[in-house]
Chain A
């Protein structure tokens, strides 16, 4: 944690501790750099990306929250990166080149939340049909009935 702060304190907006879990809030333009750093930097590397979870905070702004759950198998350590995205322009750099497993997670985020991951090799819908309209997991998308 401290090492990450020393490396580039401008990239980090906030550090949150809750129930023994550490969340580092990263500014969106720095995410890709931070990801590359964390994936490779020795002694603090997190080579395993568990999951990417988007959350829609509608009607608050910034609207979208992306949670990257990182894991180091060697050190038995977990870390969460969080990025905020504005509702008008939900675009973020893809981390698929850094962690190949992010491919499907990002496709899911695109499919269900409409977040665009720039630099993703194949950003298409994954669980919904290709011709589907709307993003089902957004909060302004109804649970039942027609839109």
Chain B
């Protein structure tokens, strides 16, 4: 399909090119329809929905606890962040505060998730732009983090480790030492990536000045996370609306003002370092003694010990795992800072044991909306950089 357009040298034909839905740089199945004038993008239109699995619909026919397993599958690069967002929403609905120890473990593990997610982003973004070795290094380190998740929760990816009221199970012995070992080596690795990229002429050429979005535009388009911080807006939900005791940790909100791909790269790399800082602080807290679940009979499962020794414990255990629990009727909207930005969960309860409606406000879905703004007027090769820099996870876009 072609249309006639006006160019600097007179009339010409534009060309419509279909990119995707299967394209290595789209990180899943994203389709972008590009209208081109030579190599310049006049118009870009993202087409989504290829991974739509109706997670929100499925949640409505599951009990509150069963729905947690579905949240893992929304953003498969940061399953623990999704678990956390959903659990916080349900806990808000019930009105329960969970023990400090469980909160710190949640912070620790979600920050590790953020590092793992940013590593995948950095690796794939780099390979899209031709830097093969960074990809291999990033995945090497990510694997170490995956092993930690497997050790703590029993699963590499679909962890479902956070439950309403706390954690699924007591972490295994020696888990903090393992995390400490991995986290000690990590800053050196991040230095390596920066050595390979930050002052690399080709890297700068491909990312600097590419895909610029102003702060005002980013806010108007609802962009959040590193997309927004790369444009100079210091908005981080961990600081603005602290949850899970984030206000007790000392870290900085990383911003850059340029608003281009390079700025977002710098923001994310700096965030890896900040997350390492938070993990270190969390490791100094009490992570070993005390309950890992709140106590709320009939809603939050009793401990194994209690279940085996008291009749009430046994009854509650049975009831919670067969018919679930029923929070009061009402609606809540709870947000967390996922690796990609503002991850909001809206839960409406009608007072039964199944959520009446669950909505995931996923950052990828909203951030992808600004893709045309990023790449219109640029070369077709920059589209690849722009898709990479929005850090989308298609599972999260389509749900």
Q: Which residues of A contact B (CB under 8 A)?
A: 18-19, 21, 23, 47-51, 53, 55-56, 67, 69, 73, 76, 78, 80, 99-101, 103-104, 125-129, 136-137, 141, 143
Say yes or no for B382: interface residue by CB 8 A criterion.
Answer: no
Q: Which of A19, A49, A56 contacts B93 (CB 8 A)?
A: A19
Q: Which residues of A contact B57 (CB under 8 A)?
A: 136-137, 141, 143
- The 6 A-B residue pairs with the shortest CB-CB distance in the complex, in nearest-first order: A101-B222, A127-B49, A51-B361, A127-B52, A53-B359, A73-B235
Q: Which residues of B contact A (CB under 8 A)?
A: 48-49, 52, 54, 56-58, 60-61, 92-93, 95, 219-222, 233, 235, 240-241, 330-333, 335, 342, 344, 346, 348, 356-357, 359, 361, 365-366, 369, 398-399
Beta-carbon nearest neighbor of B399 in chain A:
A127
Q: Could you list 12 further interchain pairs (A-B, Cβ under 8 angstroms) beyond the known A51-B333, A67-B331, A100-B220? A: A48-B222, A51-B346, A55-B356, A69-B333, A99-B220, A100-B221, A101-B220, A101-B221, A101-B222, A101-B366, A127-B48, A143-B60
Beta-carbon nearest neighbor of B228 in chain A:
A73
Give Cα distance in the complex from A23 to B348, angstroms: 13
Given A127-B48, A128-B52: A47 in contact with B60 (beta carbons within 8 A): no
Q: Which of A21, A56, A73, A136 contacts B333 (CB 8 A)?
A: A21
Interface centre among B56, B58, B222, B233 (most CB of A within 10 A): B222
CB pair B220 A51 closer than 8 Å: no
Beta-carbon nearest neighbor of B45 in chain A:
A122
Task: Give the total number of A-B pairs whose CB atoms are below 8 A apart.
Answer: 87
Beta-carbon nearest neighbor of B359 in chain A:
A53
Give Cα distance in the complex from A67 to B344, angstroms: 13
Give Cα distance in the complex from A58 to B161, angstroms: 34
Give Cα distance in the complex from A40 to B48, angstroms: 31
Q: Which residues of A contact B60 (CB under 8 A)?
A: 143
Q: Output the least CB separation between B176 and chain A (Å).
A: 33
Q: Output the least CB separation between B280 and chain A (Å).
A: 27
Beta-carbon nearest neighbor of A122 in chain B:
B45
Give Cα distance in the complex from A21 to B89, angstroms: 12
Q: Which residues of B contact A137 (CB under 8 A)?
A: 56-57
CB pair B220 A47 closer than 8 Å: yes
Give Cα distance in the complex from A126 to B30, angstroms: 12
22 contacting pairs across A/B (C-beta < 8 A) = A19-B92, A19-B93, A19-B330, A47-B220, A48-B219, A48-B222, A50-B222, A50-B344, A50-B361, A51-B333, A51-B346, A53-B357, A55-B356, A99-B220, A101-B221, A104-B365, A104-B366, A127-B49, A137-B56, A143-B57, A143-B58, A143-B60
